[in-house]
Chain A
Amino acid sequence: QQPVQSPQAVILREGEDAVINCSSSKALYSVHWYRQKHGEAPVFLMILLKGGEQKGHEKISASFNEKKQQSSLYLTASQLSYSGTYFCSYSGGSNYKLTFGKGTLLTVNP
């Protein structure tokens, strides 16, 4: 079952902040966040493993709630390079296959 992402799309001006949410009906082993630009492979942003975890690098951070059913990706002081489609995904089972959400299209304008 796909995780549910929201919003589906967001348009920002450079320097503005955004939050992308991801939720699941069941507890997850882990949640992965990726950014994909058109025609390219997804680029790994971060993985969260523990309930209550928060992590980040530079101006992109993420959280995973205690029940491990919701995650949010925080983009602060957005840059033009942040534009792309953001996917959350979760890994389940022993072979670590990923199930992706439908994605959030982020557009950052000058």
Chain B
Amino acid sequence: GAVVSQHPSRVICKSGTSVKIECRSLDFQATTMFWYRQFPKQSLMLMATSNEGSKATYEQGVEKDKFLINHASLTLSTLTVTSAHPEDSSFYICSAPGGYTEAFFGQGTRLTVV
């Protein structure tokens, strides 16, 4: 199956700083990438959809200015958490759609804001 590589796998940052998470499709071109957030013992909740060459689409309740998404090429989508606060601590994971097949997930990023 297709490989999606996500980095970093873990990051600890100070409150008020920004963190960038990268998601790369290694062996295919992804025009769309989904970004999910998962709090402990909860489900994966879609935050936004990134589209190569156009603006991201955010789900209701997700702050666009706080979670900046860029999809500059067909193999790279990034999520930047700006001015991070402890409540932003979570597991962030990207995935490329598989259509009528499985979705292809990155490894996930555990963000801890202290």
- A contacts, CB < 8 Å to B: 2, 30, 32, 39-42, 44, 47, 49, 87, 91, 95-103
**Is B103 within 8 A of A41, CB to CB?**
no
**Is B32 within 8 A of A102, CB to CB?**
no
Interface range for B: 20 to 34
Overall SS of chain A's interface: loop
How many A-B contacts at CB < 8 Å in the complex?
A: 53
- Within B47-61, the residues touching A (CB, 8 Å) are 49
Residue of B nearest to A98 (CB): B103
Overall SS of chain B's interface: loop
Stretch at the interface among B11-19, B68-76, B78-86, B92-100: B92-100
Contact status of A39 and B108, CB under 8 A, knowing A96-B98, A100-B43, A100-B44: yes
A87 to B99, CA, bound (A): 18
- Within B83-114, the residues touching A (CB, 8 Å) are 91, 93, 95, 97-103, 105-108, 110
**Is B43 within 8 A of A40, CB to CB?**
no
